[in-house]
Structure 1
Amino acid sequence: MLQTYPEVDADPGVRRQVLSENETLMVVAFRFKEGAQGKLHNHPHVQSTYVESGRFTFTVDGKRFDVGPGDSFVIPSQARHGCTSITPGTLIDTFTPRRDDFL
């Protein structure tokens, strides 16, 4: 059964929308305005990030790198991470297990 989830504010200039989920997996879109930040944080979930559009600078456990459309990478459980959008864009993040705090 298809379920639609609302888009909500995540951080200033960042909107979040759950695209699909079950108890073991969740797919989420994050839409960033230029210069918006995903604040540094960590969580127990393994996260895979795919850059649908835009350019971003990421920090993962103190290492900085830039990504753009088509790039993808995995963030390990408990790794401290965040990003800044260089241009407006959308990140598609997959979490395992599901981020219950996003529901």
Structure 2
Amino acid sequence: MKALRWISLLALLVFLNGCGGYSFTGIQTDAKTVQVKYFQNTAPLVEPGIERIFTNKLQEAIQNQTRLSLTSSNGDLVYEGEIVDYRVSPMTSTANFTAAQNRLTITV
């Protein structure tokens, strides 16, 4: 019984401290502009164009989910980083044992 209590407490702590979904909303700031710097791909496997696609999708998400204006320099907020890893994992398979759906995981 005591072990179950410790496991439950540990699970609760992991849940509360774990990485959850990130939201661009919910922050109060006086910022008006945002700059998204180009995310370089330093992953061991190189997928051509993934850094451009990621940077563009991040810019689109910011534009669609905030009132911030994108700028190419001197932004009130600056997003910068690099892609350090990515992997494609099969999610479901077909009768021929090929992947019907894949999950792309990018580590930045």
| Smaller-chain TM-score bracket | under 0.3
Task: Choose between structure 1 and 2 for higher RCO, CA contacts under 8 A separated by at least 6 residues.
Answer: 1
TM-score (norm 1): 0.24
TM-score (norm 2): 0.23
